[in-house]
Structure 1
Amino acid sequence: MPRDSPDWIFERRRELGDRIRALRLDANYTQERFAELTGIDRRTLQRIERGESDPRYGHLLRIAAALDIRVTVLVD
């Protein structure tokens, strides 16, 4: 994402990453296991969890499915 984006976008992306990480840990999944369950590369998941990458909608769908939650839980 370009650095000329407003700060609130970066903050929301970090919040989303924090939420995904917390839910993954609550489910007792390692990043490796979570990558296997979601079909998303582990490095991509790491970037999402650190708020360094905007997840695609397809990624959010896969993450939510692996956690057995709705996508709205991730972004609410």
Structure 2
Amino acid sequence: MPPARSSDSVLARRRAVGERIRAARLHANLTQERVALEAGLDRPSVVRIERGQQTPTLDTLFRIADAIGVPLADLVR
């Protein structure tokens, strides 16, 4: 079994996903409020996800990707 990644590595990757979500949202010219509404979330959750402060579930990532109009793979690569 491979060794577990350090918590710093996981945090850095979570922040990178949040940055990609933010970049995709801005590229689509959408507000956090609009993405939250379309994804069935509240705006503070979107803020925390984009900052890497909240770990979204896979279902939430699907909803965010759909709300932005991008493939999920673009957000989590």
Aligned to 1:10: 11
Corresponding pairs, count: 72
- Per-residue deviation at 1:69? 1.9
Between the two proteins, what is the percent identity of the paired residues?
49
Higher radius of gyration, 1 or 2: 2
Q: Match of 1:71, as an amino acid?
A: L
| Superposition RMSD in Å | 1.1
Q: Match of 2:18, as an amino acid?
A: G
- Whole-angstrom distance in 1 between the partners of 2:29 and 2:71: 18
Q: Match of 2:47, as an amino acid?
A: Q
- Per-residue deviation at 1:25? 0.6
Q: Match of 1:22, as an amino acid?
A: A
Aligned to 2:52: 51
What are the superposed Cα offsets for residues 41-75 of structure 1, whole Å, 9 maximum, x if unpaired? 11111100000011111110001111222211111
What TM-score comes out, normalization by structure 2 length? 0.86
- Per-residue deviation at 1:17? 0.5
For structure 2, the residue ranges without an aligned partner over 5 or more in a row are 1-5
